[in-house]
Amino acid sequence: MYIIVVGAGNIGTPLIEIATRGGNEVVVIERDEVKAESAASNFDCLVINDDATAMGTLEEAGADRADALISTTDQDATNVMVCLLGQELEIPSIVSVVHDAEHMDLFRRIGVNTMENPSRLIADHLYRAVRRPSIIDYMRIGERAEVFEIIVDEEASIVGKTIEEAASEGLLGDEMLIVAVEREDSKNPITPRGNTRVEAGDLLTVYSAEGATPDVTDVFGHFEDHE
């Protein structure tokens, strides 16, 4: 892919590394001279030290053949302007970081795929790690629902039961679904069926409409604070 990355700061730099390592043709636009020089010396990419909110800069970056434009600056106003210019230049895929949650709707209205403020997401994950240490990873869906990963403790009430049995006994509520099972003796994740039996040590990927609440994680043997 031909990717234009705007910004070589805390977010843009690891993105540039990932994109170049993946064999993509990457062009970076960075207004700060020091950051631009750093990106040019550390990554196999073209770096333009200029203002991305100018149409000519995007054209110089090869917008006419770009597959994607990703704006990562720390200013939402700059990111909006870059995205609007990208749309005018008909770049097929446009993505932007959004720092202020109140601006999310604006980006969506102009048809831009968004990534919520990464710093806030990291803070949320760190807080979750303290409050719910049993949760290995999670993704929020809407206001309450979550998909999360959790290891089944040997004392869990669900151990030894099939998914169908667990559901009939009320261990898995109507709004819960086990979507994947990873087991040490299995090379690939198991696609769970009604007759799939849950074992201690299984790493489960679970969907819960009410989120990973203590009542939900209790089922898997992790009895945490219910406050």
State whether 86 and 176 are in the same domain. Answer: no
State whether 141 and 103 are in the same domain. Answer: no
Structural domains in the chain (count): 2
Q: What is the CATH number of the domain that holds 39?
A: 3.40.50.720
State whether 69 and 15 are in the same domain. Answer: yes
- The residue segments making up the domain with residue 145 are 132-218
Pull the structure tokens for residue 134: 């049993």
State whether 111 and 139 are in the same domain. Answer: no
Are 151 and 201 in contact by the 8 Å Cβ rule? The answer is: yes
Q: In this structure, is residue 108 part of a structural domain?
A: yes
Q: Whose CA is closest to 27, among 69, 51, 56, 61?
A: 61
What are the tens digits of pLDDT across the range 63-91?
Answer: 999 999 999 999 999 999 999 999 999 99
The residue ranges of the chain whose pLDDT is under 50 are: none
Q: In this structure, is residue 94 part of a structural domain?
A: yes
Interhelix angle for 33-42 vs 12-21, to 10°? Answer: 20
d(CA 86, CA 64): 10
Neighbours of 192 (CB within 10 A): 19
Reported in sequence order, the residue ranges of the chain that DSSP labels E, i.e. its strands, are 2-6, 25-29, 46-48, 68-71, 93-98, 113-116, 135-141, 145-151, 176-182, 203-208
pTM value is 0.65
Q: In this structure, is residue 73 part of a structural domain?
A: yes
Q: In this structure, is residue 124 part of a structural domain?
A: no
